[in-house]
Amino acid sequence: MQLFTITQELQAKAVKAQNLVSENLREDGVYLIVDDNKKVIWIYKGHKSPLLLQIYGAVLQNDMRIHLKVYHSNDLNKFHRESEIYREVMDAIVKSGLAPELSIKQKIGEKIQVLTYMGSRGLETCVHSGLIAKEIIPEVLEFENPPGFIRHMSLITGSMYHEDIEIQKFITESKEKTALKKIGTLPNGFYFLEDMSTRLFIKDGKVACLDFMIEKDKDLGENRVLVPILHREKMHREGNLDILLDAFKAPQK
């Protein structure tokens, strides 16, 4: 394994690697881990690392994949910390020698192109455009929640989903399976979600999922609806229409 650190420092400098991959990682850093045997370029983003650093790390990972050609890229954060793949990478021995830090400055200023208007429109990040929810949901569920947080809601292809546990019963045992259940679509308007952290899942330049994360012990309080509700079953019952019309008449003075 070769280990590269993404840094915001203006000048790159060498860092001496320890023995195992896990011994080199800090939760406020972003790292590229190159597996020469399996031809994989992994990215690891510490849960305290700045968003800007995570973005540049992903950009540099893609550049490295293009440069190495036969390698493919993968995200280590989407695997559970106890999974076999995650442990295999973390317990791997770092190749001896010095692994250079990859400076953001080295990326900025290179490959700057003058784009036409139509060309720039094609590079814009889109929200949900052309994506299918049933294809996105399995990929979203692969990602482990950040330490100390749980998924409260998810916005996928314009619809809201909440996380639910399904019980799968077999002949000899029962197993729990995490699923995303559709709540519905949001009406037009602005929404401000206080005390929530957001997480973006980008796929092919599009925002495929927006997760709203809350702390595990967070008390959101009691949810109350302050307007009358017409329950669906009551709407299908026969009744006297005159009673309904009389209810909307203005009271006589």
- Determine phi and psi for 242, rounding to 5 degrees: -65, -35
CATH superfamily of domain region 2-112: Severin (3.40.20.10)
Q: How confident is the model at residue 217 (pLDDT cuts 50, 70, 90)?
A: confident
Write the pLDDT tens digit of every residue in 108-120.
Answer: 444 434 444 444 4
CB atoms near residue 3 (< 10 Å)? 20
pLDDT value at 72 more than 80: yes
Percentage of the chain lying above the pLDDT 90 cut: 6
Write the pLDDT tens digit of every residue in 20-38.
Answer: 888 888 888 889 999 988 8
- What pLDDT score does 111 carry? 44
Write the pLDDT tens digit of every residue in 124-157.
Answer: 556 777 788 889 999 888 888 888 888 888 999 8
Q: How confident is the model at residue 192 (pLDDT cuts 50, 70, 90)?
A: confident
Q: How confident is the model at residue 11 (pLDDT cuts 50, 70, 90)?
A: very low
* Closest listed residue to residue 40, CA positions, set 67, 77, 72, 68: 72
Write the pLDDT tens digit of every residue in 232-252.
Answer: 555 555 667 777 677 777 666
CA distances 117 to 79, 114, 124, 193, 194, Å, are: 39, 10, 11, 35, 37
* Closest listed residue to residue 196, CA positions, set 177, 218, 167: 218
Mean local confidence (pLDDT), 100-107: 58
- What pLDDT score does 43 carry? 92
> Mean pLDDT highest for which of 88-92, 120-124, 174-178?
88-92
The CA distance from 160 to 151, in Å, is: 12
3-class SS at 37? coil
E strand or H helix at 120, and its extent? Answer: helix 117-122
What ranges do the domains of the chain cover?
Answer: 2-112, 126-215
pTM of the predicted model, to two decimals? Answer: 0.56
Write the pLDDT tens digit of every residue in 194-211.
Answer: 778 888 888 877 889 999
Q: How confident is the model at residue 221 (pLDDT cuts 50, 70, 90)?
A: low
- What pLDDT score does 44 carry? 92
pLDDT value at 122 more than 70: no
CA distances 80 to 7, 104, 143, 148, 163, Å, are: 25, 29, 7, 14, 17
- What pLDDT score does 117 carry? 43
